[in-house]
Amino acid sequence: MGARGVPPGQKFGGRAKGSLNKSTIDLKAAIAAACGEDWDPVVAMAKIAKFGVIPTLNPDPEAGGYVDTPVNDKIRQTCLKEVSEYIHCKRRAVEVSGVDGDPIEMITLNDNKAEETLLAMRVALEAE
């Protein structure tokens, strides 16, 4: 008798891959209503990091608009760190080894020996 069910790797029904659930759609709508359709939190953090102020609603309802509220350096540093992750990839630790995976040979040089060694290395590189 043949096997029953769906072959491995195939999926039928359910939500399409990448589609948003209801709570995410509602959250995005609430943020758009509060901040505007084109508001971007990454751009907002970049502005906070650059200018050191957060635009907040004016506490005086008659004046309306926004006022710039200064932020401390710790908040600016946090914003810089967060925004930088969108621009630069995270660095990974790199293990360094010598030829054929052997440990790197470390030598201690005094000033005269260091100068001689550097000169020999320069000559060797120029010869290549």
51-96 pLDDT, tens digit each: 999 888 777 878 777 888 899 999 999 988 888 888 888 788 888 8
**Gap between the Cα atoms of 115 and 42, Å rounded:** 50
Q: Examine the pLDDT at 2 and tell me if it is beyond 60.
A: no
**Gap between the Cα atoms of 4 and 75, Å rounded:** 58
The domain segmentation of the chain, as residue ranges, is 40-94
Question: Residue holding tokens 């039928």?
Answer: 12
